[in-house]
Amino acid sequence: AFSELLARVRTLLRRGAKANSPVFMRAADLELDLLRRRVTRAGKRIDLTAKEFSLLELLLRRQGEVLPRSLIASQVWDMNFDSDTNVIEVAMRRLRVKVDDNFEPKLIRTVRGMGYVLENPDCV
């Protein structure tokens, strides 16, 4: 079946990408440890769900790039985008509460009508 083939190809692509992946990812004072699956901001540990961690990893890997909701849905949830669902907005809000609300500068930004972007103010 085509869906099974697609799932197998995605799995192989993920395996190949992990060999070249960095262990740590950073933006400003936000650090993501891919091996331990830990996130810290300003030295304070932040507990994330598996989906929130995957979402933050995607945003960090593509820093400065506006990610449309359809791309986020396919990469994090492995699903086709459905405009009737607000699952992405809810996940982004929960991630912002944990990663941005109590810290400065704010890293995650909404680009109206386009998607979301994680911007590192140190690189702008």
Q: What is the pLDDT of residues 47-89, one digit of tens each?
A: 999 999 999 999 999 999 999 988 898 888 877 766 677 889 9
Q: What is this structure's pTM?
A: 0.79
Q: Which residues pair with 45 in a beta bridge?
A: 40
Give the number of other CB atoms < 10 A from CB of residue 8. Answer: 10
- What pLDDT score was predicted for residue 12? 77
Is 38's pLDDT higher than 70?
Answer: yes
Q: What is the pLDDT of residues 10-31, one digit of tens each?
A: 777 776 655 566 788 999 899 9
Q: 72 burial class (0-12, 13-18, 19+ CB within 10 angstroms)?
A: buried
pLDDT by residue (tens digit) across 87-119? 899 999 999 999 999 999 999 999 998 999 999
Q: Which CATH architecture has domain 2-118?
A: Orthogonal Bundle (1.10)
pLDDT value of residue 124: 52
Among residues 36, 43, 42, the alpha carbon closest in space to that of 57 is found at 36
